[in-house]
Amino acid sequence: MNMLTLVGAAFAALLASISSSRAEFPDKPIQLTVGSSAGGYPDVLSRGVQKIMSSKLGQPVVILNQPGAMGALTASQMTSTTADGYSLATVLISTIAVAPHLLKVNYDADSFDYICQIYEAPMAVMVAKNSPWKSLDDLFKFAKDNPGQLLYASPGAGSINQIAMGALLKKKGVTGIHAPLGTSAAAYQAIAADQANTIADNTSAIRTYEVRPLALLSNTPVPWMPDVPTVASLGIEIETPVWAGIVAPKGLKPDVRAKLESACKAGVEDVSYLEMTKNLAVVNKYRNSMTSSASRRTSLTNTRHSFGS
């Protein structure tokens, strides 16, 4: 091979490198890892947003499920992934605000770039449909008159369900016994069998289980529960919404972040997604990167108070 050929090959390689470095984002598929099982609400709603994001970005957004450890496995991987916009994750409030208190993780709430929030579900205090308690005051009266006999169920120790109910009882100066039962299904089975009295869970549970809400752990009523009072209307200051959002490794370029945020906004505001959230009894509540970060800070503050730190 002569010198001219070598120089030509080197110049061609340089041009290819420059062209590649200037390729407009995105020029290949994007992976969105969901830190929960397929079929759960975070997965279903991530897939609803994913379809619109793929169309908006002009590249497939491919979902990978990675359940376990409150989503901490997924979040941990994000910290060692290149911040190029091609690796995203759906994380939950438990991933960001709870797991760092209970698990040994290599991240904190400031380890990510927040793209957007995709949904929010207010929590409610629920009892079995045949429970004699018709109001939150009935529950509090039982707890006060029968110390140590109120059993509140949850999927597990450290779950947002436990934190929310524990914070509510603390506010009212009454006590209860926590029953961590491993899964949401087991918790609701215990309530149905009168082996547990109550549970704090997101409002979507009314679509799945035979329960009756006593009050919303929220300052704002929801349209699908017009007759259920908020704790704020009862003079109790506590709000514990469950939310999920899309994050990226820290350090995204501003233009990449802006494109991802715009695509996510299109997904959350799409008519098909609006219908999906309505059917699942969750709030279609888009927040951009800035307001999503503010929501995350509020969740952290509330969770730290619940853990006593």
Residue 69's pLDDT is 78
Residue 88's pLDDT is 96
The C-alpha atoms of residue 153 and residue 184 are separated, in whole angstroms, by 9
Residue 291's pLDDT is 54
Q: Do the bridges between strand 87-92 and strand 211-216 make them parallel or antiparallel, or are there none, so unpaired?
A: unpaired
Domains of the chain and CATH, by start: 29-121+241-307 (3.40.190.150), 123-234 (3.40.190.10)
pLDDT at 296 over 70: no
Residue 202's pLDDT is 86
- pLDDT, tens digit (0-9, with 9 covering 90-100), for 208-236: 899 999 999 988 888 888 899 999 999 99
Q: Across-strand partners of 88?
A: 32
Question: Which one, of 86, 98, 99, 103, lies nearest residue 33 by Cα?
Answer: 86
SS (H, E, C) 57-126: HCCCEEEEECCCHHHHHHHHHHCCCCCCCCEEEEEEHHHHHHHHHHCCCCCCCCCEEEEEEEEEECEEEE
Can you tell me the mean pLDDT for 80-109? 88
The C-alpha atoms of residue 99 and residue 103 are separated, in whole angstroms, by 5
Counted residue by residue, the chain has a size of 309
The answer to whether the CB of 252 falls within 8 A of the CB of 83 is: yes
| pLDDT band (50, 70, 90) for residue 238 | confident
| pLDDT band (50, 70, 90) for residue 25 | very high
Chain mean pLDDT for the chain:
84
- pLDDT, tens digit (0-9, with 9 covering 90-100), for 154-205: 988 888 899 899 999 999 999 999 999 988 889 999 999 999 999 999 888 8
Give the predicted TM-score (pTM) of the model. Answer: 0.76
The C-alpha atoms of residue 17 and residue 23 are separated, in whole angstroms, by 10
The C-alpha atoms of residue 77 and residue 7 are separated, in whole angstroms, by 42
The C-alpha atoms of residue 108 and residue 190 are separated, in whole angstroms, by 34
